[in-house]
DNA sequence: CGAAAGGTTGACACGTGTCAAAGTGGGTGG
DNA sequence: CCACCCACTTTGACACGTGTCAACCTTTCG
């Protein structure tokens, strides 16, 4: 929720949330083809969203954590065009989109907030396109790790330690590379003393080195 | 503009457009860092949008033609995060975003329309991610050509002939491949009798074959 | 405890990138 | 109006990063 509302406003804004829903690890919050009715605000847990082709290839389009909104893909056709899968037990707030639109008309601040959320997603996807189109395996992984810790840190977690909620294959799908290549890049970073890796536990030992890999020119 | 408005409504909706602007080939409509004030509806002409890293790598994030909206990237931070370049002389309608938001509150149909436009862009970028992450050079080019002719056909142009407005390098940037690879893929399609290419002129001789390349499984 | 899923590592293959040279077409100035 | 020039495109030869396939290891969970 955005800032700038008084308590009376906040009470009305509570109406956006119809109810909450728990999603167990591995379960889908919504899937491709489902009728779109609501946006979902993640309260706890971790999701991936992915699209797939008829011939079975899957592309992870994003990883979402507490405080982020999923379901925006469904607005345009009234049907979802991707799957949202919980990577750990999760709880979401269900926000019927009709409520969102009604209250947006009443509260310009909310309207602006909704627009920003959608715009942010567009900008994020732009940078993923840059990553997929122009970067090499190690740059992609460095960018991915830096993005993850930055978002976790904004939520009060460590900026140097994290536990991955997704498999090597899912990371690879997101980054446009095979799981073996992901694993090799982790090992390389580890050999170079940039990170410490043990399965899904990752500790960043030298963030500057990671940033340098991600963006070779901008280093100092 | 969406359907469903009466003439009185339409008159008010005209207020969205502040003015028009001509953009000459090669000129930028807006660029990374510019303050965001307006969305732009393309009346005529053809644009590319692209992001770039500090070390000079450029990623084309989309090609836009008449009737499409650009500038959505600027909403989230009040500053544009990409460049919009005219690939041919163009004219756009300038729609100050404040007007869009004001009238959206008044006209639910417009509000819904704006939301759909943003959602459509998110879904489009999802499919570009699939393309960049999972497909091979020839599949990417086939998908690209099919998408282009489909959009041109929706605007009354031929569904088998087109003149590309962008260079091989720009196509390559969009599709995550080098210009030589783009050129080779064109030549291969040409050798196989699937298309006829002469520089920027392309005629599709066998659309089914292209679809087959794009999606090997879904053929029949 | 055993099986299944996920992760690591090695050897090799292959698609695309890189570099270079030549061809093509369009725009501009003399 | 022609000729030149420059940007763009095509094509070839070769290099290299990542994919593929396989074996083995680790961890989790029934």
| Minimum-distance residue to C8 (CA–C1') | A183
- B158-189 pLDDT, tens digit per residue, is 999 999 999 999 999 999 999 999 999 999 99
Q: How far is the CA of A167 from the C1' of C3 (A)?
A: 20
Judge: B76–A174 Cβ closer than 8 Å, yes or no.
no
**CB contact at 8 A, A131 and A177:** no
Other C-beta atoms closer than 10 Å to the C-beta of A114 total 24
Judge: B215–A118 Cβ closer than 8 Å, yes or no.
no
Residue B140 per-residue DSSP state: H
Mean pLDDT of chain B: 93
Other C-beta atoms closer than 10 Å to the C-beta of B151 total 17
Give the distance from residue A158's alpha carbon to the nearest chain B alpha carbon, in angstroms: 26
Show pLDDT as tens, one digit a residue, over chain B (220 residues): 666 777 767 777 777 887 999 999 999 999 999 999 999 999 999 999 999 988 889 999 999 999 999 999 999 999 999 999 999 999 999 999 999 999 999 999 999 999 999 999 999 999 999 999 999 999 999 999 999 999 999 999 999 999 999 999 999 999 999 999 999 999 999 999 999 999 899 999 999 999 998 876 554 4
Instruction: Convert A170-207 to b/e letters by CB count within 10 Å (16 or more is b).
Output: bbbbbbbbeeebbeebbeebbeeebbeeeeeebebeeb
Residues 158-217 of A, Cβ under 7 A from nucleic strand D: 176-178, 180-181, 198-199
- Residue A121: list chain B partners with CB under 8 A: 122
The reply to whether A109 has its C-beta less than 7 Å from any atom of strand D is no
Percent of chain B with pLDDT over 90: 86
DSSP string, B54-84: TTS-EEEEEEEETT-EE-GGGTTTSB--SEE
- A111-158 pLDDT, tens digit per residue, is 999 999 999 999 999 999 999 999 999 999 999 999 999 999 999 999
CA distance B26 to B42: 15
Residues 128-167 of A, Cβ under 7 A from nucleic strand D: 136-138
- Residue B219: list chain A partners with CB under 8 A: none
pTM of the model: 0.95
Judge: A53–B134 Cβ closer than 8 Å, yes or no.
yes
Judge: A57–B134 Cβ closer than 8 Å, yes or no.
yes
Query: Coil, strand or helix: which one is A185?
Result: helix
- A52-100 pLDDT, tens digit per residue, is 988 889 999 999 999 999 999 999 999 999 999 999 999 999 999 999 9
């Amino acid at each position: 929720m955005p800032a700038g509302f008084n308590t009376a406003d906040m009470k009305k804004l509570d109406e956006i949330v119809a109810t909450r829903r728990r999603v167990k690890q591995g379960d889908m919050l919504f899937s491709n083809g489902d009728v779109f009715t609501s946006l979902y605000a993640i309260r706890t847990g971790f999701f991936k969203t992915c699209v797939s082709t008829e011939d079975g290839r899957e592309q992870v389009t994003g990883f979402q954590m507490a405080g982020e909104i999923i379901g925006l893909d469904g607005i345009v056709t009234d049907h979802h065009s991707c799957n949202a899968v919980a990577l750990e037990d999760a709880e979401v707030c269900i926000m019927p989109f009709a409520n969102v639109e009604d209250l947006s008309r009443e509260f310009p601040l909310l309207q602006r907030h909704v627009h920003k959320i959608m715009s942010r997603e567009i900008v994020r996807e732009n940078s993923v396109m840059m990553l997929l189109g122009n970067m090499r395996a190690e740059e992609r992984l460095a960018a991915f790790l830096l993005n993850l810790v930055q978002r976790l840190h904004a939520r009060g977690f460590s900026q140097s330690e994290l536990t991955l909620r997704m498999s090597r294959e899912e990371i690879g799908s997101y980054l446009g590379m095979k799981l073996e290549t992901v694993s090799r890049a982790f090992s390389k970073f580890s050999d170079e003393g940039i990170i410490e890796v043990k399965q899904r536990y990752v500790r960043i030992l030298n963030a500057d080195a990671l940033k340098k890999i991600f963006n070779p020119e901008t280093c100092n």
